[in-house]
Amino acid sequence: MRAPGAMLETEPGGVVVLNTWDTVLWGVLPYVMVVVLVGGLVWRYRYDQFGWTTRSSQLYESRLLRIASPLFHFGLLAVIAGHFFGLVIPMAWTAAVGMSQEFYHFNALLVGGIAGVGTLGGIALLIYRRRTTGPVFMATTRNDKTMYVVLTAAIVFGLWTTLASVFEGEHGHNYRETVAPWFRSLFIFQPDIAAMAAAPFSFHLHTLVGMALFVIWPFTRLVHAFTAPLHYLFRPYIVYRSRDRETKGRGWSAVGTPDRDTRNR
Amino acid sequence: MRVMAQMGMVMNLDKCIGCHTCSVTCKQAWTNRAGTEYVWFNNVETRPGQGYPRRYEDQDRWYGGWTLNRRGKLALKAGGRVKKLFGIFASPVQPELKDYYEPWTYDYKTLVDAPLGDDFPVARPKSLITGEDTKITWSANWDDNLGGAQDHGHLDPIVEKVRRESEDKIKFAYEQTFMFYLPRICEHCLNPSCMASCPSGAIYKRVEDGIVLVDQDRCRGWRQCVTGCPYKKIYFNHKTGKAEKCTFCYPRVEVGLPTVCSETCVGRLRYLGLFLYDADAVTAAASVTDPQDLYDAQMDVLLDPHDPRVQADARAQGIPEDWLDAARRSPVYALAKVYKVALPLHPEYRTMPMVWYVPPLSPVVDLLRDQGHDGEDAGTLFGAIDALRIPVEYLAELFTAGDTERVTAVLRKLAAMRSFMRGISMGGAPDEAIPESVGMDGQSMYDMYRLMAIAKYSERYVIPTAHLEQAHDLEELGCSLDFDGGPGMQDSAPFGEASGRPVPVAVDTFNALRDRQSSDTLAEGTSLRGRVNLLNWDGRGAPPGLFPDRHTGETDSPDRGPAPDTLAGAEDKS
């Protein structure tokens, strides 16, 4: 990690002054975020299995949900895939397979733009539905409202960075030289703070809101994403379970469990 | 062959008077919570009628249960695993609240609080979903006793089907009406499609007694089970976001008590008991091509508890001896397989349901009586069963996938029993010709009569208790010194008191007793470290020592809590 306050050159010739804020935001906060996210998920998984649900409101209303929810969720899956390509795959790799910078960006903006607009449209429709359908609105907790604000902000700011690149065209910011190296450097515990500090404000905002989203994630209904039922593809259709072994693998004993554990003898 | 035990139920529909006591007591016991207002684990439907939720039997719309795919293999009617996962964000086939009804309460407070005036105060109906004033337009048994049948009797999917096939009319005019009640709970199927539909794998069948339950901790609210169940007996709790279903009152059944619906049934029409079945044969049985063969296939899956080979296999599977005895005395096995008068509900869904029904003879008897015939004469009854095509066809659509011969055979047995026993009651000699005409003998017909008409409590409910002791390896009979730390070291767990493996009660007691016997002071202050006996605590405040101190080693600090006599004094003063 480079020392805060050091003068650093970044291309194309600009000079970035790293201050304490940069260190905190791009050197410390990501790790705090990960600790809260992982710790929060582990805590919630151990102690709040009953609260771990989609809290579906389809029983109240399904006409709008039928359009909005798949639009949002599939859009989001595309957005996640796009983030993976943009952040994890280094520029050198795409160049090595002969993908030009222009081609990459055209694709990223086209696919990313469509996915982003779809996601935003989906969540807008979902929020509209939530606000206007009486029972759905009544089932909305304060926690949900906070979550919707952060989630929508993350999508809006993300879309802003994408659309800004579209309008700026050639002169647009290449996040694969700033945000992406920083993102990858986090995993080797050598955060490239300077690279991230060099990114424009819109990217900073999107990243910060994104981190806020991950921080609140374990404490909202969003946790259902972490139990996406992919194992359904592999499990047998009929599930037998013994009455006596149903408490195994839990963080606590069920009500009615005899008070001494002698099963492991 | 893999022998498994299954708790089953039989309902004798001739005895159902449609009083809804089972529904009400079930609701009071299980679903009187927020989020389950519309949930009826047990409901009683008037048939013909739409049922609950409305038209749930219309599988062209709801895609419940199983079907055979092009290769003749069993497949979920609503689609396979991949299709289900793609439809997970908005379940494509999902009953909404309007298919059930919008639950409501009344603004009773107005009746008491309304200011004096010229008008009577009225308790307005309030929706339990929105809290707003509501207009009551439907409920769980809106078409009770054929109410409104002129307007929507034709909406019964089975009426539709029978009409289509017979090009005849089921008239809802009074003089031609037939009617009976159908109480329904979860079928606790051998091949449950709700379970197969659950992406999380949260629905499971208990190995010991076959009861199908939803693990509330594992359910994530993907709500595919609601689609999967053709009987629509899985409900979505809209407050907790979890699926809920009939539990077969497993906490009662485990200790040998009948389910709430059975216990409170005033008609005493429910029977509870065990089936033994071959778990390895279920899938093949559910896959037979012709839906009308499903009944026979299901019969073949049920094993004879008197067969020594079955008993040996059951013992090998760890089924306890008292369960085998209960299986031999099982009333549900007798009604379903020995007398063959109980039929499964909608076998064509291929779920192998385990709640069975004795079809009602009463529509036939009532009609005969109303027309001035002798409703208890065997010949008249037999003739009427054959002549009254429409009730029989309707019952066949419910219980035998449309096979009228099977339903007729059951009704003839019931008619024969009726007239055979009438002969005996009237002081005549038993007319053996009557049981013979339906392929039975006098003794077995009399036994059937005892089970169905006398229906003693102990014969209706043969419920073996659960064997909890098996699982826990005969608790504490093993070496009680074999645990972390060993005897006398019970405070040495790595993360302080109560961490690590618990100390067996016997060891804890042994140490406390030794301390008490060998120490000079009262045992309270040291060996139990100033804990409060909760039996003497009145619940007010927190007396010192309510929360035990951490063990601090050898030193005996004075603030460890008072001796029992000072504590008792303090409580008296407070």
For an interface test with A, give the residue of B67, B89, B476 to mutate (most A CBs within 10 A): B89
Q: Could you tell me if B67 lies within 8 Å of chain A, comparing CB atoms?
A: no
Its ipTM equals: 0.83
Of residues B282, B86, B100, the one with CA closest to residue B193: B282
Cβ distance B200 to A243 less than 8 Å, yes or no, reads no
Does residue B495 belong to the interface with chain A, where contact is any CB pair within 8 Å? Answer: no
Q: Which amino acid is at B163?
A: R
DSSP calls for B477-537: -S-TT-STT-TT-TT--TTSTT-SSPPPHHHHHHHHHHHHHH-SS-HHHHTTTT---GGG-
| Chain A hits for B6, Cβ within 8 Å | none
Q: Which of B96, B201, B208 sits opposite A59 (nearest CB)?
A: B96
Q: How close A243 gets to chain B, by Cα (Å)?
A: 6
Residues of chain B with pLDDT under 70: 166-176, 389-390, 468-537, 548-574
Report how far residue A112's alpha carbon sits from residue B152's, in angstroms, rounded to the nearest whole number: 52
Interchain contact B468–A (C-beta under 8 A): yes
Angle between helices B362-370 and B378-387 (to 10 degrees): 110
CA torsion B494-B498-B502-B506 (nearest 10°) is 120
- Does the CB of B94 have a partner CB in chain A at under 8 Å? yes
Q: Phi/psi class of residue B391: alpha, beta or left (left: φ > 0; alpha: ψ in -120 to 50)? A: alpha
At B249-307, the pLDDT tens digits run: 998 998 889 999 999 999 999 999 999 999 999 999 999 999 999 999 999 999 999 99
- β-partners of residue B155 are none
Tell me the pLDDT tens digit for each residue of B70-81: 999 999 999 999
Instruction: Tell me if B478 and A74 make a contact (CB, 8 A cut-off).
Output: no
Nearest by CB to residue B220, choosing from A67, A224, A260, is A224
Backbone angles phi, psi at B463, to 5 degrees: -120, 105
- What pLDDT score was predicted for residue B154? 82
Query: Which chain B residue has its CA at the smallest distance from A61's CA?
Result: B96
Q: B476, A49: Cβ pair inside 8 Å?
A: no
Closest partner CB to A53 (pick from B92, B220, B502): B220
Using CB atoms, which residue from B89, B132, B238 is nearest to A139? B238
- Span of A141-150, A251-260, B96-105 with lowest mean pLDDT: A251-260
Residue A211 has pLDDT above 90, yes or no: yes
For the cut 50, the answer to whether the pLDDT of residue A243 exceeds it is: yes
Is the confidence at residue A51, as pLDDT, over 80? yes
Q: Count CB pairs under 8 A between chains A and B.
A: 160
Q: Say what the pLDDT of residue B179 is.
A: 87
CB contact under 8 A, A53 and B241: yes
CA distance B368 to chain A (A): 46
Q: Are B46 and B23 in contact (CB under 8 A)?
A: no
